[in-house]
Structure 1
Amino acid sequence: MVENRRRSEEPLHCLVTGASGYIGGRLVPELLAAGHRVRCMARSPGKLRDHPWAGDVDTVRGDVQDAESVAAALRGIDVAYYLVHSGSGAGFEAADRRAAEIFAAQADACGVQRIVYLGGLTPRGIPESSISPHLRSRAEVGHVFLDGPVPATVLRAAVVIGSGSASFEMLRYLTERLPVMVTPSWVHTRTQPIGVRDVLRYLVGSATMTDEVDRAFDIGGPEVLTYREMMCRYAAVAGLPRRLIVPVPVLTPRLSSHWVGLVTPVPAALARPLTESLRYEVVCSEHDIATYVPDLPGRPLPFDEALSLALRRVREAQVATRWSSASAPGAPSDPLPTDPDWAGGSLYQDERLSPVDASGEALWRVVEGIGGENGWYSFPLAWAVRGWLDRFVGGVGLRRGRRDTERLRVGDSLDFWRVEEIEPGRLLRLRAEMRLPGLAWLEMWVETDPQGGTRYRQRALFHPRGLLGHVYWWLVLPFHALVFGGMTRNITLAAVKGAPARVNEARAVRIRGDRRTRRTSQR
């Protein structure tokens, strides 16, 4: 019998299943920050190698349907986090139930002290047999753990607000892409959304609950909102125009899922169980979790603040981790490399790669010398017209040039761009400061190919803002081959010919001549 005590005095050895998923990937660094040791179980451990915490955890291969691999993963574990769901497909409810039973039995055999499970909030006053298969399966898994021999904490949440959460991404795409929405009647259904930071705080705090705690907890934010109210609030926080929402009661859950699949990139297989569940009012009936994981000042986060955190990366005009090779995100609300492609909002990109018959140093001189008098190496008239149009609508245009003729540093203005990141000899990332219905970046990379040669990689990225942003991208797309394709060709050609060096030498001679002229006139 495990001693009945609160385990906050010493680090715990925690197992996280589903570490490649939305919540699991964000829970691991929180557990590490709390001083616990972490083991991750995944069917494909290679999916975890790009996480910044990969070197700080023990990763094992395992499948929750395989009792032997589950037992191997649970040996020596104090607290096991179960964050796995089948989600859809024929027989998924039976598969989820069988996996939970295997996990509960093996946890008991291995001496695990607690199982922590994150499930879904279920509607009150409706028999579980009558609710959607998605919610019913979540509830059944929770019952398996609560009825088992190992003390369990079952957390039940509704919509989780954070970049990468399927429910949040559906909200994001519907609101951003449709200024006028014909929606199903479920937009009037009440729910109690919760920020991902609070979900993680409750998950981490559950590890140190006393052994007699063996129950479910409802977790939610401080506000009860309809889906319509959430969409309107999202538009306000994101700076979008007011949305016109017209409910249509004839849309069945199946038709709703197809409609969501048409409007958003959320897969229909995922949209279907989500939309089916949106028919039910899911509101917390208690807040007992605060007895064991006390609320902090201002927590749980209000809806608008949770939204602002979920949109933080875009608002600060930084390229999100999933979209670039920048450093890992610094907050639970940020995207992760393992998030699905449709998570994190839309990002259009034009990427080009070209071998260069020149040294990396020669290519970098061209890249760092771009803009100003050297121009942009493609279709000068197009760049000039874009600059004139930008000035016409109140933007900066191309008149700023560059601070230094040869060197760039972070924060420098460069025509209608600004240097956001520079890694000498390797990367130049520019953020657009022209007037646009969205955010744009231009990346230029100097790379070494597997054979040791030099290659040039160029990416133009655009994060649209509202429907106008999407329209803008598709309108300018036909010109990309001319502008960005020509830019790639001419930059590589300039590196081969050493053009920037000669241009800079000529400019230096001219500058020295101008200085002599000024000194002579002063005499």
Structure 2
Amino acid sequence: MTRCLVTGATGYIGGRLVPELLKAGHEVRCMARSAPHLRDQTWRDRVEVAEADATDPVATRAALSGVEAAYYLIHTMGSGRDFAARDRRAARTFAAAAKEAGVRRIVYLGGLTPGDRPERMSAHMRSRAEVEHILLASGVPVVALRASVIIGSGSVSFEMLRHLTERLPAMTTPKWVATRTQPIAIRDVLRYLVGALDVPPEVSRGFDIGGPDVLTYADMMRGYAAVAGLPPRLIIPVPLLTTRLSSLWVGLVTPVPAGVARPLVESLREEAVCHEHDIARYIPDPPGGLMGFPQAVRMALHRIKEAGVATRWSSASTPGAPSDPLPTDPGWAGGSLYADERSARVDAPPEALWRVIEGIGGEHGWYSLPVAWEARGLLDRFAGGVGLRRGRRDPRRLRVGDALDFWRVEEIEPGRLLRLRAEMRLPGFAWLELSCREEEGRTVYGQRAIFHPRGLLGHLYWWGVYPLHGLIFGSMARNVARAAAAEPRAGTAA
């Protein structure tokens, strides 16, 4: 067991590393500039938290006190003219504090660079390489891992790839789409980070890490489309697009902010392929080998295609794998997600509302515009789907797995929540959540329709039917509330 300090625990890597360290039996202290930023992490009550800015030598020294190993996962994303100076100052302060505190190992995650020629690196990658050199000169043994594109839901690089591929079936692209890179699955990055604690103390150096596939960015877009079940993408490189125009283009087409996209685009200009695999001497490859690009993408997308995905969006569970999204990821991470949310106060006890919720569909219908629901069912049947003809197994009771018209019961918490997954033909994945709760002594009905679009057609579909939502979902919420109010009360005749 090692007592570890993790910086950057509010970020993508740090937020996933902490539970892996805890799972391996290590003690963890998280260093954050603001402790409240960690309050939503599921592991918050299992770690210590030290408030410190890495540029503050006194606070950083206190955070490192009693720590055996420290993870340095701090980077500015190239914002502002002085980002490199801020990175340099933070690294020097942290390195000196670690040496003074008697830390026995620093683990750093940097970027995979195009060899030893700094003139070929972007400013962003030069800064990461400089941070590595500062830490290696600290006198504390360092394992510096250098990675290129990290594949996992929430990774900025992966989210940019996801949104570009899903939203553009055909695209003119900058010349950097032809640059070779060596992506790596988040699962393997975390395995290396945790395994670095067991590297012999006399080893202090950098290591290139990457998956088994060397691909261009265009290859990755095509590979993503194949795994996601999208039509082949038409990619036409246009060499005239500058880095600034490319980042603005990415910011326009995707929800990834242009200020975040720009350093990534700059780093993609130069090849990022591993020059060695020496890390395997100390952290052997897993029995099945490192995860390839298609499998890594499949892992990053699997919760969208399986029942468990909706639980993340309803905050009902925690991710089960490093590649899963986290509630603390940026709002643009995890793919596009549309939702129509409504609620209504109900003049009835919760049990009356629940009877209406559990009895929905089949002969009872959907409490709004029956003609519209019938038309949607007919369209689904014409498209080869199941339509509304399946009805329901029992007129009053539901259980997980039951067919319900063109829905399937994915989750049911008696008296509280019913979650249905759409099985109609759609250019995406859809859920409908109906809930019952009490607020200030009143019964409240909650309703949420969730849609995860698949490709450009999915986005067009959502916005095409959006004008109907007020009619269908609005009247549904009102009519469910009225039906519950009309339900017989306990102790009265039906």
Judge conservation of contact 2:399–2:412 (CA < 8 Å) in 1: yes
The structure with the larger Rg is 1
Aligned to 1:311, the other structure's residue is in SS state helix
Judge conservation of contact 2:184–2:209 (CA < 8 Å) in 1: yes
Letter in 2 for 1:477: Y
Q: Which residue in the other structure is 2:353 paired with?
A: 363
Task: Note the residue ranges of structure 1 that are not aligned, 5 or more in a row.
Answer: 1-10, 507-523
Judge conservation of contact 1:74–1:110 (CA < 8 Å) in 2: yes
Q: CA deviation at 1:317?
A: 4.1
Q: CA deviation at 1:128?
A: 1.5
Q: CA deviation at 1:320?
A: 4.8
Structure 1 runs, 4 residues or longer, greater than 6 Å off: 499-502
Q: CA deviation at 1:324?
A: 1.6
Q: CA deviation at 1:461?
A: 0.4
Asked whether 1:495 is paired with 2:477, we answer: no
Select which of 391, 416, 419 maps to 2:409.
419
Asked whether 1:400 is paired with 2:404, we answer: no
Please give the alpha-carbon distance, in whole angstroms, between the structure 2 residues aligned to 1:167 and 1:382.
41
Q: Which residue in the other structure is 2:134 paired with?
A: 144
Judge conservation of contact 1:372–1:401 (CA < 8 Å) in 2: yes
Q: Which residue in the other structure is 1:112 paired with?
A: 103
Aligned to 1:223, the other structure's residue is in SS state coil
Q: Which residue in the other structure is 2:236 paired with?
A: 246
Aligned to 2:451, the other structure's residue is in SS state strand
Alignment of 1:270-285 (within 5 A): 270-285=260-275
Select which of 65, 71, 81 maps to 2:71.
81
Please give the alpha-carbon distance, in whole angstroms, between the structure 1 residues aligned to 2:261 and 2:95.
29
Q: Which residue in the other structure is 2:339 paired with?
A: 349
Q: Deviations over 1:453-500 (max 9, x none)?
A: 221211100011111111100000000000001111111121122179
Alignment of 1:47-66 (within 5 A): 47-66=37-56
* Change beyond 3 A, Cα 1:499–1:393: farther
Please give the alpha-carbon distance, in whole angstroms, between the structure 1 residues aligned to 2:328 and 2:56.
24
Q: Which residue in the other structure is 1:409 paired with?
A: 399
Judge conservation of contact 2:21–2:28 (CA < 8 Å) in 1: yes
Q: Which residue in the other structure is 2:87 paired with?
A: 96
Please give the alpha-carbon distance, in whole angstroms, between the structure 1 residues aligned to 2:490 and 2:184.
56
Select which of 174, 192, 199 maps to 1:209.
199
Alignment of 1:250-261 (within 5 A): 250-261=240-251
Q: Which residue in the other structure is 1:455 paired with?
A: 444
Q: CA deviation at 1:355?
A: 2.1
Aligned to 1:328, the other structure's residue is in SS state coil
Q: Which residue in the other structure is 2:252 paired with?
A: 262
Please give the alpha-carbon distance, in whole angstroms, between the structure 1 residues aligned to 2:183 and 2:311.
25
Select which of 421, 428, 431 maps to 1:431.
421
Aligned to 2:256, the other structure's residue is in SS state coil
Select which of 7, 10, 20 maps to 1:20.
10
- TM-score (normalizing by structure 1): 0.92
Task: Note the residue ranges of structure 2 that are not aligned, 5 or more in a row.
Answer: none
Please give the alpha-carbon distance, in whole angstroms, between the structure 2 residues aligned to 1:61 and 1:236.
44
Please give the alpha-carbon distance, in whole angstroms, between the structure 1 residues aligned to 2:227 and 2:39.
34
Q: CA deviation at 1:75?
A: 1.1
Please give the alpha-carbon distance, in whole angstroms, between the structure 2 residues aligned to 1:136 and 1:501.
71
Backbone CA RMSD of aligned residues: 1.6
Q: CA deviation at 1:391?
A: 0.9
Please give the alpha-carbon distance, in whole angstroms, between the structure 2 residues aligned to 1:500 and 1:243.
58
Asked whether 1:306 is paired with 2:296, we answer: yes
Q: CA deviation at 1:176?
A: 0.7
Letter in 1 for 2:467: P
Judge conservation of contact 2:307–2:410 (CA < 8 Å) in 1: no
Aligned to 2:88, the other structure's residue is in SS state helix
Judge conservation of contact 1:322–1:339 (CA < 8 Å) in 2: no
Q: CA deviation at 1:246?
A: 0.3
Please give the alpha-carbon distance, in whole angstroms, between the structure 2 residues aligned to 1:418 and 1:53.
32
Letter in 2 for 1:312: H
Asked whether 1:443 is paired with 2:450, we answer: no
Judge conservation of contact 2:383–2:425 (CA < 8 Å) in 1: yes
Q: Which residue in the other structure is 2:365 paired with?
A: 375
Select which of 44, 66, 72 maps to 2:62.
72
Please give the alpha-carbon distance, in whole angstroms, between the structure 2 residues aligned to 1:140 and 1:320.
42
Select which of 91, 113, 138 maps to 1:122.
113
- TM-score (normalizing by structure 2): 0.97
Q: CA deviation at 1:129?
A: 4.4
Aligned residues: 492
Judge conservation of contact 2:381–2:387 (CA < 8 Å) in 1: yes
Asked whether 1:325 is paired with 2:307, we answer: no
Q: Deviations over 1:243-267 (max 9, x none)?
A: 1100000000000001111111001
Please give the alpha-carbon distance, in whole angstroms, between the structure 2 residues aligned to 1:129 and 1:245.
29
Please give the alpha-carbon distance, in whole angstroms, between the structure 2 residues aligned to 1:208 and 1:81.
14
Judge conservation of contact 1:320–1:329 (CA < 8 Å) in 2: no
Aligned to 1:430, the other structure's residue is in SS state strand
Q: State the percentage of identical aligned residues.
A: 67
Letter in 2 for 1:496: A
Aligned to 1:484, the other structure's residue is in SS state helix
Q: CA deviation at 1:60?
A: 2.4
Q: Which residue in the other structure is 1:40 paired with?
A: 30
Judge conservation of contact 1:47–1:338 (CA < 8 Å) in 2: no
Q: Which residue in the other structure is 1:472 paired with?
A: 461
Q: CA deviation at 1:203?
A: 0.2
Asked whether 1:179 is paired with 2:169, we answer: yes
